[in-house]
Structure 1
Amino acid sequence: MNPRRTATGGRVNRQRPVRFTFDGTAYTGHAGDTLASALLANGVVLAGRSFKYHRPRGLLSAGLDEPNALVTVMRGKVREPNVPATMIEIHDGLTVESQNRFPSLAFDIGAVNQLAGKLISAGFYYKTFMGPAIGPLKGTRFWMLCEHVIRRAAGLGRAGEAPDTSRYERMNAFCDVLVVGSGPAGLMAASAAAEHGANVILAEADAHAGGSANWSGETIDGMLAADWAADMAAGLRERPNVRLLRRTAVWGCYDGNTLVAVERVSDHKAKAGPGEPRHRHWVIRARSVVLATGAFERPLVFPGNDRPSVMLASAAERYANEFGVLPAETFIVFTNNDSAYLSTISLKKAGANIAAIVDVRQDVGEAMRILASEAGAELLAGHAVVATEGGKALRGVKVQRFNMTSGTVSGEARSLSADGLLMSGGWSPAIHLASQAGAKAEWDNGLQAFLPPAPARNSRWLGAGAFTGNFSTGGALAEGHAAGLAACGAEPGETSLPTAETTLGSPEPAPVFEIKAPGKAFVDFQHDVTVDDVRLAHREGFVSVEHLKRYTTLGMATDQGKTSNVAGLAIMAEARGLPIPDVGTTRFRPPFSPVSLGAFAAERYGDLRPERLTPMHDWHVEHGATMQPAGLWFRPQIYGLAGETIEQAYVREAAATREAAGIVDVSTLGKIAVQGPDAAEFLDRVYTNMFSFLPVGKARYGLMLREDGLAFDDGTTWRLGDNDFLMTTTTANAGKVMQHLEYFLDVIWPELKVSLVSVTDQWAGAAIGGPSARDILAACVRKTGVDNKALPFMGIVHGTIADVPVMICRLSFSGEMAFEVYSPADYGTHVWEALMEAGRPFGLVPYGMEALGAMRIEKGHVTGAEIDGRTTARDLHLDWMLSKKKPFIGSAMMDREGLIASGRIQLVGLLSLDGRPLGGGAHIVEAVDQENPHGSIGHITAACYSPALGKYIALALVEGGKARHGSRAFISDPLRNRYGPVEIVSHHFFDPEGSRMHG
């Protein structure tokens, strides 16, 4: 049934057939197979098409470094593209499609691109589509003409449109020691740390612990390495202080030893169990980290190296020993190092026929010559493969004599028949997580690879095994044990370590990356980057490794340069006449491996979204409120009546508030208690305006800037006592403001005696505003007056409502006379209902966020839509709040040339002149060009229908805004196909003098 499946061997269960489909054809594999191994077992060698040239490609690797075999997994109508076939465990009913081909994988018309190879070399899109300097297609117009076709041709897989119904989880974990990688070094590190009482998390990307031990033929303590690893993993699972996470790829390393990982919980199952997520996103905070992430074998660069059935030697070894699959019948091995000989012996034991070993080194050690003889392979030392032969499958190769000094070949080419070519160009330690942690890679000339530096004295990560360049299994065991002890602070002592028995040659490869022979030789397989592309980048001046990466797209594919990076750097180094370390390497960034979008969004959407509810939430729902998310909170959007649209509802609510009174739940505002002898001084430094002279019992509107001088947040702060302030923030920025304040207090001004406590959840808040607001309060507030003398604008009083203590501040967000009433959260609904009852004779209505937004737009108040991280106080007409008497955060940077330029965007108002609604995000232009939208002078930040003006209005940020008052412009909104005239006016639409608020 499986023509290339061996009779015995591997982890697969031959008694459990598994049925799956690939490109509509049904196949059968076995439990334990990956999609890659199952396809190979069925004789399928064509797995994908390359990005640019659509060349036929087969499997290159057996792990997450796979650049060729990217597929789309179908779950009903849900499509998940760009998943490596090597990381998909098959299950009954699995449906998979190949990518980047039309109409089929075997016959792809996109392959015609190969005929235009010279025209679409590196950087062709930068040079080809800029358009002529003159004429009707000048400049960007030519790009606009070509963009549609180019964008359709770009990319690999095709995203689906059906909603993903799978469940995703988010988890936080804390541990003493996190071990990343469960090869021999990782297992020993986890075991050593656990034995000394540390809480350990061991994360492994594959389904089984053991790493390369799973497929190597060596023994540890007299048993096969795979069996030894399985026993070690089982022992660790039994320990209460160890958590073993299989199928878990650690993809990012961030400050404070915070690492992030994705666990594939149910991808290997036909159906997830009850309540079981598809993926689980882990955020792990560890005291120490042991990186035992191993190394990636590198391909060699020679003409025809991308033909299907050309793969890495270690990959073929893994398919044979772990999955019981021989990727070909007859192999030729092409290498520059000794490790390929060990792979050859493993394959021979599995039943493979090894025709020849082609080694670029003339002087091959005696031990390796003996291994070649044991494999029954002809050894061609001092030779190189210069071409591959065949179509969509390999038939043979050509070899010639090779000069290691010049990298050139000579003599007559010899043809060798084989249906599989294995290559090994040395090994690159997987140092990505260390690089993300800030470690600068160091070149090792012997291993011809970048290694992590020795950890700094105070470093919280350690390395072990092939990650550090230690390719001896015995050495990896010892290094892993030592790292585990060091990670938990234990002293090394006498201990008996496992004994590894293996035939080892030198791990150091010959410094050969490229075979200089005629033909197209690929460096980056997925993005079709060739040797010629790298040399073209050199000729055109893109010689920095970062420029090389972006100009050629080398290493920018989903495998992130795991197989291509070093070879590309070596070729550039030779072109520049420099050693590789002088050329350097790019900085590795997260994610180390692909992450599903569902994992990123885990529990942040739909029914799984966390619900933060105000104390009055149930009252709102019972009284017909439509709830909507606001940050992490749920707030009333409208209190709709039967048959009302959203617009009709908020217009009614806002009009009723302007005419009589309205009440809105403001419990979600951030509230921070700022207390201590230096509290006033602290606020002076934080806010742009003065607070130290604010009288007790008064509130003040304040503005915060970031250190770079841009606006950060606004709100009111109430002085409750000499050393006691209550700061309010916007709902969305509450957490960020608290973090901002804590940073400056802890790091910049630790000498200040100030205490900060978030009290957002302690207080329930209700804002009541409108012409009748004071009368309503007077009807229900006891123990204090609320008249103008007792409670002036921005004044604070303490009283009771329905026997509940309350704190009342007279301030307004709606432009009406308004009061914020704070009560203990447990009594929030009680006080709210008392206010509603007192307001019944006055026509008090509850209103939601839509009416709140409409009234704030009418009044011209700013929110996060305008304080968007790009605006200054002057842009928002808040420069009157910039104190000239004191320094404050951002004061040193707020007057930079770019922040005070005359042409900057400024807050303005817009009136719709065609009577149609305006949309947030729409661009403002001086002249409409629907065919080629351009010339934006600003954008709309918020829009509504104004019940006070009877028009559609908006707030906008427009270049030179104030100078444009009274002028006309146009809306350009191509996404919504909305174009139309507007008038630019002051952002104060309603009661600009503030007579209603202060009356």
Structure 2
Amino acid sequence: MTSRRIEGPSTSPRELRFSFDGKALTGREGDTVASALLANGVRIVGRSFKYHRPRGIFGAWTEEPNAVVDVALDGVHTPNVRATTQSLAEGMEVRSVNTGAGAEKDRNALIDRFGQFLPAGFYYKTFLWPDWHMFEPRIRAMAGLGRLDPATEPPADCPLISAHCDLLVVGAGPAGLAAARSGVAGGKRVMLVDDQDRPGGSLLHREAAIDGRHGTEWAETMTRDLASAGHTIIANTTAFGIYDHNLVALWQRRPEAPDALWHVRAKQVVLATGAIERPLVFPDNDRPGVMSAEAALVYLRRHGILVGERIVLATNNDKAHAVAVALREAGASVVVADTRQSAQTGADVRSGARIESVHGTGGVKAVIVGGERIEADCLLVSGGLTPTVHLFCQAGGKLRFDESIAAFVPRDPLPGIVVAGAANGRFALSEVLAEGHRAGGGGGEVPKADAQDESYGIEAAWPAPAGKARQWVDFQNDVTVKDIELAARENFRSVEHLKRYTTLGMATDQGKTSNMNGLAAMAAITGRTIAETGTTTYRPPFVPVPFTVVAGRRRGEFFNPVRRLALENEHRASGAVFREYGGWLRPAWYGSGPGADEVAREARQARETAGILDGSPLGKIEVIGPDAGALVDYNSYQTISTLKPGRIRYGFMLTESGVIYDDGVVSKVSDEHYVVSCSSGHVPGVVARLEEWRQDRFDRSRVFIHNSTPQWATLTATGPRSRDLVAALSLGIDLSDEALPHMGFADGSFAGGPARVARVSFTGDRSYEVSVPSSRAKALNDAIQEAGRTLEAVALGSEALLMLRAEKGYIIAGKDTDGTTMPHDLGITGPRDKRKGEFVGKRSLFTENAVREDRPQGVGLTAPDGAPPLPTGTHAIETAGGRRRSIGFVTSSYISPSLGRPIALALVERGLSRMGEEIEFFHLGRTMRATIAPVCAFDPEGARING
């Protein structure tokens, strides 16, 4: 390819210095990396993913499959950037990817010589023997495209912007501008977004006149009028995904500020996303110098670059002929090879002509057309236009095949989404403008194209199977027609199977230039029509979006903010050592001694006198309304609504697969008011779950969810003297067992505000949870600590609480259960066997997997006298034929200060039926033994609850 810059006016843009693979080059302001490389005559910009074949620039924008590069600028390294969309900047360092020393001399190019032995799926079959792990390190080292720079840590400063509008128009080409104008005329608030740096779309490189103005002038006028009327126009912004309820995600590239992520909800969305020119498929069609004809026109008209001096243009439609005219006017010689027999012939046009082969390994040197060798330095291809329907399909849209344009177009309309212009298969300018006008609401007058539309006149030219030479369908993923034939022979005929077996249209490309040719090839091979063959699924994002944009400012505590107790300063003053539990920073233990000693001291003292624990993070989720009981029952394993007001019930929440999600208690205030108290780390999840089922299954006007966890501080008193401790607070509550029994609650007052006392125990001792508004947390803490001094109460950290719970066999969901544990695995079968109503997860409790006899079940463990505690995570094993097999693992393990011996909880296969059986454990090369026992090791009669 002998590409060169065509000199423009004397006021040329300023020069920019950059480098490519270490070589110093210059470009101009306004260049992309691709246009600058073309201006410098760079032919090979990268190597193909699989075979390391030399590849040149094919496209001019997001459709580019070859020119993926790594970019470094001002100390920030960005991998896998499309050279066609990356603006050039002073001092930019650009490196080719998937290469060794560089694109020109790749040491892995030898792989291509063995291409016939490396068809689609070869790695699935080749590296099974003797062991995949022998080959894995080297294969993984060669995989991927660009490389991350570990030293690069981009700043976390990309904002998230949320917006609403009446009409969101995606694409500022003629259809999008017409839609925006008609929307404004109809009184709508309009937002117009486009991924280019200026509006116009095809008008920026195709000759056109609209309403008496040149196409570019008309686009600038429309944009100026929209902005002056107060509507939002965002350039350099890609709509990369449409999600539930028509949430449109935008990536805005801002030259003078960090990029931004937009979340836009609009009453109406117009997708005016245009179309992509697809390649023609013939032998060696991936040579450097083979380029999209439309891209060549873009480089000529927008960047002043002539992509070749001696050009062959291969096409099957009328639109490509305008490209030939423009290139000739710029000084190139152009021979058109038109596959249509009906094409007009002439000295520079060959009708009924197909490309038979391309010569030149490092770039195009000659092209064989109909047996004629034509010397050339560039081969342009135009196989027709494929509507850009990715966003439409992401929103759930279905497609139909339109024979007249040889492409898939949107089939049925979607609520709130309209597709217009080339994205809808309309390629004549007058039709594009009229359809865009209707899509925007039809306000005002329809824009008029002044000149007669050029025709499209396409005749499909699909890949021809059974050829001897390799014909490339997917440039980015190195997929050939032979690969598709192989997939069909091995019965991977579904388009989704084809995609995964061959990698056709996968990854960052999402089939932009390859899908139509790939589907057509599979249709021809299997004797089906293209419509019968169908399409693959387009997934967001439409283009790769930087992680920095998606993450925004969510880094460190912004990513996972540590939640802090209202009494944190008071705990620190008391000598607390803090750790994170369920996202909350909580006291693990108190004191300056060794942690294990302090934890044992707290646990022992709490059993003897009283312990004071800050339980503020425990969930306090209020469910209110006439259907509150029904919602709580539906989300619980146990029935809750049968409680009397003022009483509490312990229970589980299950996932839809029947697995224990959370355990906690629910308090019934009245028939229309319940308080769900879940574990600290599950509060957001339980709120979301309750809200999901509220919206999905219940009348939203009859039940409401409110998370009041942050509004209340809770201090728990536990132990034999806990009632005396709470009585000293003067809460105005009768604390007798008759008035306030275990699993009951009562309301009182404290310091002039409300207070609630719930008699719930997670230690096995008499316990009281005292909750007051968070603003009175310090006053409550001062009062309870003062009372505790005379009663020899101890401050209780989370580690001691976990130990006390384990002594009683009280599980921690997610610690003493895993992602498969169901209630009957813990011996709790009543609701499953007797409950009549529906609840979340009920069906799954009766599946074949759920009723297996060898399921892991929750048990306790007793170590032999004098043995050390079993390490948490230790595997229970069975040994047969000299091979160990895991049959479970230890979930919690402690040396109980109350019992004076080790205790443990575990999940063991058939554990509930193996009580008293001694089993073997294995950990880090050491074998141990323990006896399966009931989970409750301390006070199994439960006498201390009311003691």
TM-score normalised according to structure 1 size: 0.86
CA apart distance, 1:796: 0.8
Q: Distance in 1 between matches of 2:876 and 2:218?
A: 68
Q: Deviations over 1:529-550 (max 9, x none)?
A: 1110000111111111111111
- 1:618-767 maps to which residues of 2 (within 5 A)? 619-620=570-571, 634-636=584-586, 638=588, 657=606, 660-750=609-699, 753-767=702-716
Identity percentage of aligned residues = 38
In the alignment, the residues of structure 2 paired with residue 652 and residue 646 of structure 1 have an alpha-carbon distance, to the nearest angstrom, of 10
1:602 matched to which residue of 2?
552
Aligned residue for 1:334, secondary structure, equals strand
Hey, what's the Cα distance between the residues in 1 that align with 2:868 and 2:206? 75
Q: Say if 1:745 and 1:752, in contact at 8 Å, map to a contact too.
A: no
SS of residue in 2 equivalent to 1:874: helix
Q: Deviations over 1:484-519 (max 9, x none)?
A: 11xxxxxx4662524353651225343434487542
Question: What is the correspondence of 1:128-207 to structure 2 with a 5 Å cutoff?
Answer: 128-131=126-129, 137=130, 142-162=131-151, 164-167=153-156, 168-207=158-197
The residue that corresponds to 1:343 in the other structure is 323
Answer yes or no: is the 8 Å Cα contact 2:578–2:589 preserved in 1. no
The 3-state SS of whatever aligns with 1:447 is coil
Amino acid of the structure 2 residue aligned with 1:356: V
Q: 1:700: Cα distance to partner?
A: 0.6
In the alignment, does 2:339 pair up with 1:360?
yes
> CA separation in 2, counterparts of 1:47 and 1:963?
67
1:891 matched to 2:842: yes
Query: Number of residues paired by the alignment?
Result: 937
Distance, in Å, in 2 between the alignment partners of 1:352 and 1:601 is: 49
* Counterpart in the other structure of 1:565: 515
SS of corresponding position for 1:888? coil
- Aligned position for 2:417: 461
* Whole-angstrom distance in 2 between the partners of 1:237 and 1:979: 74
Equivalents in 2 of 1:161, 1:923: separation in Å? Answer: 37
Alpha-carbon distance, 1:383 to partner: 1.1
Structure 1 residue 986 displacement after superposition: 5.5
Q: How far off its partner does 1:916 sit?
A: 9.4
Query: How far apart are the structure 2 equivalents of 1:601 and 1:264?
Result: 15
Q: 1:13 to 1:568 in 2, by over 3 A?
A: farther
Counterparts of 1:580 and 1:93 in 2: how far apart (Å)?
48
Q: Pairwise mapping of residues 467-486 of structure 1 onto structure 2 (< 5 A)? A: 467-485=423-441
Shift of 1:298: 0.5
Residue equivalent to 2:918:
966
CA root-mean-square deviation: 3.5
1:82 aligned partner? 80
Answer yes or no: is 1:234 the counterpart of 2:224: yes
**What SS does the aligned partner of 1:501 have?**
coil
- Aligned partner of residue 728 in structure 2, secondary structure: helix
Distance in 2 (CA, whole Å) between partners of 1:592 and 1:281 is: 14
The answer to whether 1:775 aligns with 2:705 is no
Structure 2 partner of 1:410? none
Letter in 2 for 1:425: G
Of 781, 804, 807 in structure 2, the residue corresponding to residue 832 of structure 1 is 781
Contact 1:358 1:380 in 2 (8 A): yes
Distance 2:69 2:506 in 1: 18
Q: Which amino acid aligns with 1:159?
A: L
Where does 1:405-420 land on structure 2 (aligned, <5 Å)? Answer: 413-420=371-378
Q: Give the one of 520, 532, 557 matched to 2:470.
A: 520
Instruction: Letter of the 1:354 partner, please give it.
Output: S
Q: Distance in 1 between matches of 2:926 and 2:364?
A: 58
Whole-angstrom CA distance in 1 between matches of 2:95 and 2:598:
49
Pairs within 5 Å for 1:898-917: 898-908=849-859
Aligned-pair CA distance for 1:123: 1.2
Provide the secondary structure at the position in 1 that maps to 2:521. helix
Rate the CA distance shift 1:166–1:506 in 2: closer, same or farther, 3 A.
same
SS in 1 for 2:116: coil
- What SS does the aligned partner of 1:835 have? helix
Aligned to 2:383: 425
Cα deviation for residue 856 of structure 1 reads: 4.5
User: Deviation at 1:93?
Assistant: 3.0
Is 99-108 or 52-61 further displaced after alignment? 99-108
Q: CA–CA distance in 1 between the matches of 2:901 and 2:84?
A: 60
Give 2:100's aligned residue. Answer: 102
Any idea what SS the aligned residue of 2:49 has? coil
Q: Mean Cα displacement is larger for which, 660-669 or 227-236? A: 660-669
**What is the Cα deviation at residue 23 of structure 1?**
2.2
Say if 1:801 and 1:292 are closer, same or farther in 2 by CA, change over 3 A.
same
Q: Distance in 1 between matches of 2:892 and 2:151?
A: 30
Whether the aligned pair in 2 keeps the contact of 1:713 and 1:867 (CA below 8 Å) is no
1:283 counterpart residue number:
263
- Opposite residue 66 of structure 1, the aligned amino acid is E
Per-residue deviation, 1:947: 6.7
Contact 2:182–2:444 (8 Å) recurs in 1 = no
* Secondary structure at 2:34 match in 1: helix
Which 10-residue stretch deviates more, 332-341 or 713-722? 713-722
| Residue 912 of structure 1: how far off its partner (Å) | 10
Q: Note if 1:7 corresponds to 2:7.
A: yes
2:890 and 2:904 in contact (8 A); partners too: yes
Runs of at least 5 residues in structure 2 that lack an aligned partner in the other structure? none
CA offset digits 1:574-600 (Å, max 9, x no partner): 111111101111121222221222333
Q: Is the contact made by 2:876 and 2:919 (CA closer than 8 Å) also made in structure 1? A: no
Residue 384 of structure 1 is aligned with which of 354, 361, 369? 354
Displacement after TM superposition at 1:115 (Å): 2.2
8 Å CA contact 1:923–1:971 kept in 2: the answer is yes
- Partner Cα separation in structure 2 for residue 929 and residue 264 of structure 1: 63
Does 1:806 pair with 2:742? no
| CA contact 2:340–2:459 (8 Å) conserved in 1 | no
1:682–1:752 contact (8 Å) kept in structure 2: no
Are 2:505 and 2:512, in contact at CA under 8 Å, matched by a contact in 1? Answer: yes
**Within-5 A mapping of 1:873-952:** 873-882=823-832, 884-889=834-839, 890-908=841-859, 937=887
Displacement of 1:356 after TM fit?
0.7
The one-letter amino acid of 2:509's match is D
Q: Distance in 2 between matches of 1:624 and 1:497?
A: 76
Shift of 1:306: 0.8
Cα displacement (A) at 1:417: 1.6
Q: Given the alignment of the two structures, is residue 258 of structure 1 paired with residue 258 of structure 2, yes or no?
A: no
Which residue identity is paired with 2:848?
A: E
**Residues 198 and 393 of structure 1, relative CA distance in 2, 3 Å threshold:** same
**Residues in 1 aligned to 2:599 and 2:220: alpha-carbon distance in whole angstroms:** 64
Aligned residue among 452, 477, 490 for 2:410: 452
Query: C-alpha distance in 2, partners of 1:945/1:207?
Result: 67
Q: Which amino acid aligns with 1:773?
A: S
Q: From the superposition, tell whether residues 510 and 683 of structure 1 become closer, same or farther in structure 2 (CA, over 3 Å).
A: closer
Question: How far has the Cα of 1:699 moved from its partner?
Answer: 0.6
Q: Out of 100, 112, 115, which is 1:114 matched to? A: 112
CA gap 1:287/1:735 in 2 versus in 1, 3 angstroms: farther
Q: Greater CA deviation, 440-449 or 593-602? A: 593-602
Q: Equivalents in 2 of 1:666, 1:33: separation in Å? A: 61
Q: Give the Cα–Cα distance (whole angstroms) in 2 for the partners of residues 835 and 172 of structure 1.
A: 46
The one-letter code sitting in structure 2 at the alignment partner of 1:861 is: I
Measured after TM superposition, the shift of residue 876 of structure 1 is: 4.2
Q: Could you say if the C-alpha distance between residues 713 and 340 of structure 1 is closer, same or farther in structure 2, counting changes exceeding 3 Å?
A: same
Task: Give the residue type in structure 1 aligned to 2:328.
Answer: K
Task: Look up the match of 1:298.
Answer: 278
CA distance in 2, matches of 1:720, 1:937: 44
Shift of 1:101: 1.5
Q: Say yes or no: does 1:59 pair with 2:57.
A: yes
